[in-house]
């Protein structure tokens, strides 16, 4: 069996290493200015290529470190993650931005975007198109979204994003109240009247002026009646008659009101 001379083997190994080095991806942005990187990233985002925009924004963040452009890169990256459906990365980027730049003029937008990430991904303002029952979905994201919007409206009442944030807060409160009512209805329909009363009372006590209270009161009336608690039933009925004198629940039960709760506001 023939063997290659040692010098030849060494040369072949060296050639292999060089070939491996030459296969390293070339950084096409090596000679680009920060402004050009930013422009290219914006073009990618405009075309919907958020996965291509993120690495460009990461390069921009490093090359323009300490400048407003680097801050803009962080915000844009969070937005790109959000549009790409990468909720965790978007939230992490925004949290990092707010920690590093607590006095940034873009802080109000960062809070708004943080609320929006959770709101759209887990609550879905326009999910009524597919007639989804939003009250059955994850409530933690809704609460996180509410906290971000609440901080925005408290700290930046005159921000251009505050009015929209407040409207979304109203929607979130409606959804959280409806969640309690959804659970109360579940218990009621299975004959667990005490559990139904407890959940309906949470909705009545914690949420004021929301559409879900009408059904919560109906569940209280029916649950108290089923348990023979006539005094509490009559008290709940008086509140219902005063607050919702024409309530379709009282004449048609749960089927009496067919419109989804989110249509009320």
The whole-number pLDDT of residue 26 equals 76
Confidence of residue 122 (pLDDT cuts 50, 70, 90): very low
Is the pLDDT reported for residue 113 higher than 70?
yes
Note the pLDDT of residue 100: 94
Q: Is the pLDDT of residue 71 over 90?
A: yes
Nearest to 174 by CA among 146, 212, 147, 145: 212
d(CA 265, CA 261): 8
CATH superfamily of 41-169: Tetratricopeptide repeat domain (1.25.40.10)
Residue 217 near residue 244 (C-beta atoms within 8 A): yes
Residue 95 has pLDDT above 90, yes or no: yes
Neighbours of 236 (CB within 10 A): 25
Rounded mean pLDDT, 77-103: 95
User: Does residue 75 have a pLDDT over 80?
Assistant: yes
Region 70-87: what's the mean pLDDT? Answer: 95
| DSSP H/E element including 69 | helix 68-83
Helices (H) and strands (E) in the chain, counts: 12, 0
Task: Say yes or no to pLDDT of 261 above 50.
Answer: no
Q: What percent of the chain has pLDDT over 90?
A: 65
184-229 per-position pLDDT tens digit: 999 999 999 999 999 999 999 999 889 999 999 999 999 999 999 9
Which band of pLDDT confidence, cut at 50, 70 and 90, is reported for residue 80?
Answer: very high
CB 91 within 8 A of CB 111: no
Query: Is the model's pTM score more than 0.75?
Result: no
pLDDT per residue as tens digits for the range 22-68: 455 677 888 899 999 999 999 999 999 999 999 999 999 998 898 99
Q: Which residues contact 82 (CB under 8 A, 6 or more apart)?
A: 90, 113, 116, 117, 120
Q: How confident is the model at residue 123 (pLDDT cuts 50, 70, 90)?
A: very low
More confident residue, 12 or 69: 69
């Amino acid at each position: 069996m023939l063997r290659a001379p040692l010098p030849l083997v060494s040369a072949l190994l060296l050639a292999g290493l060089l070939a491996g080095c030459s296969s390293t991806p070339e950084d096409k942005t090596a000679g680009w200015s920060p402004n050009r990187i930013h422009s290219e990233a914006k073009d990618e985002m405009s075309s919907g290529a958020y996965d291509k925009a993120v690495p460009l924004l990461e390069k921009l963040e490093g090359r323009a470190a300490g400048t407003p452009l680097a801050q803009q890169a962080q915000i844009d990256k969070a937005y790109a993650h959000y549009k790409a459906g990468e909720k965790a990365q978007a939230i992490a980027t925004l949290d990092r931005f707010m920690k590093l730049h607590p006095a940034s003029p873009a802080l109000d937008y960062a809070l708004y975007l943080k609320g929006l990430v959770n709101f759209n991904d887990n609550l879905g303002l326009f999910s009524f198109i597919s007639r989804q029952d939003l009250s059955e979905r994850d409530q933690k994201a809704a609460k996180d979204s509410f906290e971000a919007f609440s901080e925005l409206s408290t700290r930046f009442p005159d921000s251009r994003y505050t009015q929209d944030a407040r409207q979304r807060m109203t929607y979130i409160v409606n959804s959280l109240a409806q969640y309690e009512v959804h659970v109360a209805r579940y218990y009621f329909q299975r004959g667990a009247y005490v559990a139904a009363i407890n959940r309906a009372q949470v909705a009545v006590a914690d949420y004021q002026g929301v559409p879900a209270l009408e059904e919560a009161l109906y569940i209280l009336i029916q649950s108290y009646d089923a348990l023979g608690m006539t005094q509490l039933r009559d008290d709940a009925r008086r509140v219902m008659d005063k607050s919702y004198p024409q309530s379709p629940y009282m004449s048609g039960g749960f089927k009496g009101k067919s419109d989804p709760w989110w249509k009320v506001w």
